[in-house]
Chain A
């Protein structure tokens, strides 16, 4: 096959794995929790599913589902324990969790291969990856429109007001962590399959940085932002590396900085789009329009939506 095509395929598959991991982080951010714990969930998913695949007869999908369930339960536990921490402190605690994860990966040699790492026993094909990503996206699409979605939005915007309105803030956050755990495990398995060899450094700080960057820069206010962000930050580097071998990280770092400075809402920012649409609408119907049949004042509902952020 054409080498460019192979590279493109590999980039796409990395991007899909990255997207699932990013969505795992997004679920927590949705309820206002900045967490690095996705990497831990990814590690559970990857090492867990490989172990299940080797030791049991669950098969590929059974193993991944098994690992996802375990990771989801672990996520619920983490959410429960970390519940009272807010903003910076939660971020710090989850960084500590990532560091501890590495120690356990290194030491649980029987399950993880220890510091030598482990060959990934299975491969997930491109269509299978696409199906998994689609399922996760579908889940979030449904959640966005569900009661949970509204509760999560409210919790992020103002937990105090949300609680006063009767939103079970604590439960919403714990559920978000549980979901993040399950989704993160699937992402971890996909990432592992794509790498075909994983070691303790696979699921470590570097990955968590890439994931957070994907989510925030893609747009933390809509799940689709995470998918776009992952394509930019995990897929693109694979493809670009054939042209630029040195200093790629400098470009990544600068890109992070530029996007956060100039597009603070990320690439996918529903609010900015709404504002732009509104401005275009106003331009098309200037206040001194001869027509005069329509009210030139901006729609108050749109303004209100803008004021919440």
Chain B
């Protein structure tokens, strides 16, 4: 029974990582940017939700939607301030990484000042707390919420990117901006749209992560690391790959913590990342997309 419980815990954590990884993957596949500011979007999602709940007392779901939109807008801001000028001069790997680090540090400090670096938590009675019993197993409401949100949102993102015209346009811009433009697609609109989508999905991951606990301006940093592990293992730029990678990381972390060594849990996770990188640099499910150009 313990194994089953741990497995469920792992899947619930993994669902959040999966959401984050999908958000990360959207930016990576459409713009070929390794965006280290991605974790900040998650923090902003959670923090905006917290401030809305704390100041206005709106219902949780409404506050969460505002948080998600806010995170999306932060992502657009980062893209327009940091990445757009670099794109105009032709993206360089180092330039984009450094620019994203700059935005990461600055945006994180803004939250640190706003909260005076103290941990905050969603006010009691707002976020769903408490347990649900499914047969002999107790799970937290936040965990169920995380899994449901992840499944719904990731499916929606996959559907959007692969089954709609807008999705095709976004992927076309990611593949070759100029050719896409020739067919009448506006790269600018697609890039902003992709940034918004990426920020929103990541923001949701942040809100779910913050759900049942207290958190501070660092929230997104841990997510960035785990989400990045998920993306590497699952494959960059592939929604299904990122999602499966996230689940995998969540389960591996939880199981290795309880069965192998809690203190070496991160070493096991990131050791696995190294092994995958060296064995299959494009991820277990990743296409060779990034090799192009």
Note whether A and B form a binding pair: yes
Residues of A within 8 A of B (CB): 34, 81-82, 84-85, 87-89, 91-93, 95-97, 99-100, 102-104, 106-107, 205, 209, 212-213, 216-217, 220, 246-250, 252-257, 260-261, 264
List A contacts of B44 (CB < 8 A).
Answer: none
Q: B274, A97: Cβ atoms under 8 Å? A: yes
- Tell me the bound Cα distance from A91 to B263 in angstroms: 25
Cβ-based interface call for B82 (8 A)? yes
Closest to B36 in A: A209
What's the least CB distance linking B278 to chain A, in Å? 7
How many inter-chain contacts with C-beta < 8 Å in the A-B complex? Answer: 121
Q: B264, A103: Cβ atoms under 8 Å? A: yes
How many of B's residues come within 8 Å of A, CB to CB?
43
Interface residues of A: mostly helix, strand, loop or mixed?
helix
Residues of B within 8 A of A (CB): 34, 81-82, 85-86, 89, 92-95, 97-99, 101-110, 112-113, 221, 225, 228-229, 232, 263-267, 270-271, 273-274, 277-278, 281, 290
Closest to A106 in B: B263
What's the least CB distance linking B280 to chain A, in Å? 11
Q: A247, B109: Cβ atoms under 8 Å? A: yes
Q: B99, A260: Cβ atoms under 8 Å? A: yes
A264-B97 CB under 8 A given contacts A89-B281, A93-B274, A99-B270: no
What's the least CB distance linking A175 to chain B, in Å? 20
Closest to A262 in B: B85
Q: Which residue of B86, B105, B265 is within 8 Å of A249 (Cβ)?
A: B105
Closest to B89 in A: A264
- Tell me the bound Cα distance from A213 to B102 in angstroms: 9
Query: What are some 19 contacts across the A-B interface (CB < 8 A)?
Result: A34-B94, A85-B278, A85-B281, A93-B273, A96-B270, A96-B271, A96-B274, A103-B263, A103-B264, A103-B266, A104-B267, A107-B264, A246-B113, A249-B105, A255-B102, A256-B101, A257-B82, A261-B86, A261-B99
Q: A87, B93: Cβ atoms under 8 Å? A: yes
Q: A91, B97: Cβ atoms under 8 Å? A: yes
Q: A260, B93: Cβ atoms under 8 Å? A: no
